Amino acid sequence: MLEWRNVIKKSSREIISELQSRREKARLGGGRKRIEKQHSVGKLTARERINTLLDEGSFEETDMFVIHRIRDFGMDGKTIPGDGVLTGSGKVNGKLVYIYAQDFTVFGGSLSSDHAKKIVKIMKLAIQNKAPIIGLNDSGGARIQEGVESLGGYADVFLQNALASGVVPQISMIMGPCAGGAVYSPAMTDFTFMVKGTSYMFVTGPDVVKTVTSEEVTAEELGGADTHTKISSVADGSFNNDIEALNVLRKFLSFLPSSNEYQYTKRKTHDPKKRISFALDTLIPENPNLPYDMKELIVSIADEYDFFELQENFAKNILIGFIRLDGQTIGVVANQPIVLAGCLDNDSSRKAARFVRFCDAFNIPILTLVDVPGFMPGTAQEYGGIIKHGAKLLFAYAEATTPKVTLITRKAYGGAYDVMSSKHLRGDANYAWPTAEIAVMGAKGAVEILFRNELNDPKKIETRTLDYEERFANPFIAAERGFLDDVIIPSNSRYRLIQAFSKLKNKTQKNPDKKFGNIPL
């Protein structure tokens, strides 16, 4: 005979109340005290960061209730819903993005295998649904109590970084510690930004460095924002605090496509296409040895005079970043004459090559502004591998099939002329100002080689130099050969560039079938 029992079933109201209670617990992360500690050092919590970055009310969280499965070292009694990372999707200025934010209030943001699975899951969704991936990093590293499984979790994330590369934009914002294996995921993303004073990145920390090499160095010196924006180039930019970082990131995302399949739609602009900039007619100094600021040209031609520069404090002899022309995002690469005369060196070549490849991967048109006297000479550059580093930029431009427009403002000498998106590297539209000088080298150096037997006669050398300048140090020889499509008036540059890019909007060009090219890394 069956024994009947009274079973008390929870009401719908009680079930919903329990759900709300669970959600509230998850939203508290590591608790009020740890949240206050996070605030005390000038940092927002992971949830506050997401709410600041995303459009209001757009965040949809996934895996809120995930907990770790670690049973050693007393961890079986320590579980917090979410396991130290928030994951989900939302919108930035109406654009879908996928996001994860590590929560330092929960186990110091350390990564367990379940923590990693949450990140991998959201990255796979981003690849599948063709939307950018944003990582807000604030983590003490691998969850030591878990051992090798946490290391496996890192490798799982790295794999997704590699698979997502060139498919959807990947952006890392370092907002706290990022050490050991954790640094390699940001390094594999397209862009990395940092917050000054509260974030750092290094493979081995100051204590290990001191033990192994006897060097005494602080965390800030070893891997702070200044180090990675000025010396290592690991980071593309840095900001004063969390709020500034997240607000600028919102702006930055507006320049980027959602994926490599995204078809560009123009952003509305009230800046006239035919706006004339008469100041450009006198931008180039009459003395060819005097510098000028290439940023003046970039800002002058850009919609609303807006230039979003990247790696501003590294390899300053070359400029990279985004502008809009008639509402369309354009990637800019430009020599900077006020630093090292605009010469290409190891650092500037690497900096520009990576940017060109990003633009090409996502079909962002590239504008190249050229004033380059050549590659930097010297043993330091040769020993540092300038041949290979210069070849990276050459390879990147040659391989790129996105629309490419080039404008030579003054000097374009030697092999550097070839490298800077010349017509020979499949430049689609190549222009020059009347002030441009396109030659193997400067007139004085060329004459001293060609007429070395006359070096003891200064007057003859001066006459020869003037003659060389008249015959070769101008854009018209290149134009006669078809290496330039036109010589344009500087003040009219904005309109001519807009016209050039508008004609290229339906460009299709393919490289020979292959798995991938072997860039000289």
User: Could you report the per-residue pLDDT of 331-370, keeping only the tens digit for each?
Assistant: 999 999 999 999 999 999 999 999 999 999 999 999 999 9
Q: 102: helix, coil or strand?
A: strand
CATH H-level superfamily of 12-253: 2-enoyl-CoA Hydratase; Chain A, domain 1 (3.90.226.10)
The single residue of 147, 166, 181, 385 carrying the catalytic annotation is 181
Question: Identity (one letter) of the amino acid at 117?
Answer: K
pLDDT of amino acid 8: 62
pLDDT of amino acid 74: 61
* Nearest C-alpha neighbor of 409 from the set 430, 427, 436, 429: 436
Gyration radius from the chain CA atoms: 27
Using alpha carbons, list the distances in angstroms from residue 224 to 235, 347, 349. 10, 20, 24
Class of domain 278-436+475-502: alpha beta
421, 431 Cβ separation under 8 angstroms: no
Round to whole Å and give the CA distance between 144 and 361: 38
Q: Taken in order 266, 271, 276, 281, is the CA torsion positive or negative?
A: negative
The single residue of 140, 180, 223, 331 carrying the catalytic annotation is 180
Q: What's the pLDDT tens digit per position in 502-521?
A: 999 999 999 999 999 999 98
Catalytic-residue membership of 180: yes
The single residue of 302, 416, 439, 446 carrying the catalytic annotation is 416
pLDDT of amino acid 1: 46
The HSE-up count of residue 36 (CA atoms within 13 Å, CB side) is 3
Catalytic-residue membership of 416: yes
- The pTM for the full model equals 0.93
| Domains of the chain, residue spans | 12-253, 278-436+475-502, 442-473
Establish whether domains 12-253 and 278-436+475-502 are of one fold. Answer: yes
Q: 48: helix, coil or strand?
A: helix
What residues of the chain score a pLDDT lower than 50? 1
| Alpha-helix runs per DSSP H in 400-521 | 414-419, 443-450, 458-472, 476-480, 493-503
